[in-house]
Each structure stands twice: as structure tokens, then as C-alpha cells.
């Protein structure tokens, strides 16, 4: 079978090559899956460069999420059957979805609702789990207001769908080019980030929560709005890295804590609870998330690549956000 392999650590995706390898054998607790699609996420590029404390397999297949069809069910697996359509997200320490066939722990997986196409599901696994895990940590009540940054992006758009199913009033910063699909998904108030500064549009304490995917000044301005809670994928909470299968060295934890200190102090001054989002493999949570949005699921167009395309042209950082279709 063909797979996209990390040949060595390197800048961006420069060392990723399409190679022929043997199909993996299914172990106890695992599923063998025929891959259908997998999104190229920014974290995939980061992981291919090399990540502190992680040991890589030989050969190391790229990719952390995706969707497919169950070919085999390993021993001690009771919740899945051959032929099931599944969606999944792996750990940083257990990557490998960019291949025609993969094996994966069953507890990373969720069944895809019948109204969501398998190919579509592979485009939203990481964004959806990140969004859902972030929003449930806020513990919001129906009717409360949330500001979602980058609401037209991969994670932001899934956060919008989750938030609407939770009954929240959603304000989003985004691009005018995404306005039509955002309206379709039920966005209540749109802020054009190119022409408007959200910190001037919104009043202090106007929103109850903020979901941040951008960090830096956007995170600072979000905290200054004095919502009850801010959850950010750019605020690194090293105590939660184990959720992604990572155990950072002590010096790395110290450095990250030092770098994040400015946000902690700002949150304390504004009496805001600041939550750092780390997404880890969790099939049960992913099942709840995909079932929730399936009630009113909004599909989006996406740019795709085949293994032939990648074999011919390779991968670059410009491919982040595209979808590999197997």
C-alpha cells in the first residue's frame, strides 16, 4: 500500500515522501481502517519537523486525523464492526493517518452519523474535537454570548456549529468571503476583521466567553473585554500536554510557563478565567461532538489532494487546510 512517510526531520513538509509499505497488522484493541480522507493540519507540519520528547516510528506515517471504513476489528473491541464509517483523531505520540490503510486504537474512534459523508468527516476531525472540547470547558448556559475568533477557519467554523447547538448567541470575527456560509450556519453577529477592530465594536463584559485561535494581541484584547472565561488554543498550559500524549522536559515546561506569564497576569487583572486548550485522542468525546453537530450539519467545499498529486509535487506549508483523499 502507499503511505506518506517522514524520511527525516526537516523544515515544513520537505521530508514527506509517498512510499510503498506493508499494510499494518491489527492488534488487540485496534481497528484496521481503509482511509477515505484526512485534513492537512498545521500541527501535522509541526510534528514532521520533530517535537520535543516524541520518539518516531520507522517508517513514520504522517497525519493525525481523518475518516475511513473499518476493514478489520481487533480482539477486545466491541463497539465497532466491519463496514462502519469512522472518524478519528490520534495522539501526538501516535500519529499516522496518511496511508491507504491504517490501524488505530478503537477508543480514538467515533461512528459517523448517516447524514455526514465519510469524505466530509475526514475534513473536520481535529477542528471539531478541538472546538467541542474547548466549548464544554466553558460550561456555558443557553442564551449566553460567545465571541469566536477566526469563525470562518477550520476550528472556528466547527466551534460555530457546536455553539449554535448549545443555544449560544455567537459573535464571530472573520472574512467577508466566508459571510454567506457563516450566515447559513447561524452566526448572530459578524465582525469583519479586515475593516473592524472587535475590541472597539464590543463593549466591556458584553460577551460571556471568548474562543481564541489566534493568540498574541488578539488574546490580549479578548481578555481585556472581561468575559467570564477565555479558552485559547494559543495559550499553552503545560499541565494539560499529557492529553496529547506529550511529556515535556522540565526546561521546556519552565520556558513555556515563562512565555505565557503575560497572559496569566492580564487575566488575573481583569478577573478572567483563562483556559489553555490541548486536544487529545478521545473517541467518546468525538462521538458526542459529531452527533451534536449532525443535527444541523453544514458542509463546506474543500481543496483536495491525491497520493498521486503528492507523489508528483510533494507537500508544502501552502497545503495546510487542504484534504488528502485516498
CA gap 313, 293 in Å, rounded: 35
What is the mean pLDDT of the segment spanning 196-206?
A: 97
**Mean pLDDT of the region 152-161:** 97
Alpha helices in the chain (DSSP H): 42-49, 118-121, 125-138, 154-165, 179-184, 198-201, 216-224, 250-269, 283-293, 307-313
Q: Is residue 211 scored above 90 in pLDDT? A: yes
Question: Exposed, middle or buried: residue 8 (CB in 10 Å: 0-12, 13-18, 19+)?
Answer: exposed
- pLDDT at 209 exceeding the cut of 80: yes
- Condensed to tens digits (0 to 9), the pLDDT of residues 274-306 reads 999 999 999 999 999 999 999 999 999 999 999
pLDDT of residue 41: 95
Decide if 234 contacts 213 (C-beta within 8 A): yes
Note the pLDDT tens digit of each residue in 213-268: 999 999 999 999 999 999 999 998 888 888 888 888 888 888 888 889 999 999 99
At 61-85, the pLDDT tens digits run 999 999 999 999 999 999 999 999 9
- In this predicted structure, what is the pLDDT of residue 110? 98
**Other C-beta atoms lying within 10 Å of the C-beta of residue 311:** 13
pLDDT digit string (tens) for 91-101?
999 999 999 99
Q: What is the pLDDT of residues 110-134, one digit of tens each?
A: 999 999 999 999 999 999 999 999 9
DSSP single-letter state for residue 240: G
d(CA 67, CA 295): 19
pTM of this structure:
0.95
Residue 292: the pLDDT is 98
Amino acid at each position: 500500500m502507499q503511505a506518506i512517510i517522514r524520511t527525516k526531520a526537516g523544515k515544513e513538509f520537505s521530508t514527506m515522501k509517498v512510499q510503498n509499505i506493508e499494510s499494518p497488522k491489527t492488534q488487540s484493541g485496534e481497528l484496521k481502517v481503509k482511509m477515505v480522507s484526512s485534513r492537512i493540519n498545521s500541527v501535522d507540519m509541526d510534528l514532521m519537523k520533530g517535537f520535543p520528547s516524541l520518539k518516531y516510528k520507522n517508517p513514520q506515517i504522517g497525519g493525525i486525523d481523518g475518516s475511513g471504513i473499518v476493514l478489520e476489528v481487533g480482539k477486545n473491541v466491541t463497539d465497532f464492526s466491519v463496514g462502519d464509517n469512522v472518524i478519528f483523531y490520534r495522539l501526538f505520540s501516535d500519529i499516522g493517518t496518511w496511508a491507504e490503510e491504517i490501524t488505530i486504537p478503537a477508543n480514538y474512534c467515533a461512528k459517523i452519523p448517516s447524514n455526514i459523508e465519510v469524505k466530509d468527516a475526514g475534513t473536520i476531525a481535529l477542528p471539531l474535537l478541538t472546538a467541542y472540547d474547548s466549548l464544554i470547558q466553558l460550561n456555558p448556559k443557553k442564551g449566553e454570548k460567545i465571541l469566536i475568533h477566526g469563525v470562518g477557519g477550520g476550528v472556528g467554523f466547527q466551534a460555530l456549529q457546536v455553539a449554535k447547538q448549545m443555544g449560544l448567541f455567537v459573535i464571530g470575527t472573520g472574512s467577508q468571503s466566508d459571510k454567506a456560509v457563516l450566515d447559513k450556519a447561524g452566526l448572530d453577529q459578524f465582525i469583519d476583521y479586515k475593516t473592524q477592530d472587535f475590541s472597539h465594536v464590543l463593549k466591556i463584559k458584553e460577551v460571556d466567553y471568548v474562543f481564541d485561535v489566534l493568540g498574541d494581541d488578539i488574546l490580549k484584547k479578548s481578555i481585556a473585554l472581561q468575559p467570564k472565561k477565555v479558552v485559547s488554543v494559543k495559550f499553552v498550559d503545560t499541565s494539560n500536554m499529557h492529553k496529547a500524549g506529550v511529556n515535556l522536559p522540565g526546561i521546556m515546561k519552565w520556558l513555556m510557563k515563562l512565555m505565557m506569564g503575560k497572559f496569566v497576569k492580564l487575566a488575573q487583572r481583569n478577573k478572567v478565567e483563562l483556559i489553555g486548550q490541548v486536544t487529545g485522542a478521545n473517541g467518546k468525546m468525538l462521538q458526542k461532538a459529531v452527533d451534536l453537530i449532525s443535527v444541523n450539519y453544514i458542509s463546506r467545499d474543500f481543496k483536495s489532494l491525491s497520493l498521486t498529486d503528492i507523489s508528483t509535487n510533494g507537500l508544502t506549508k501552502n497545503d495546510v487546510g487542504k484534504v488528502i483523499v485516498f
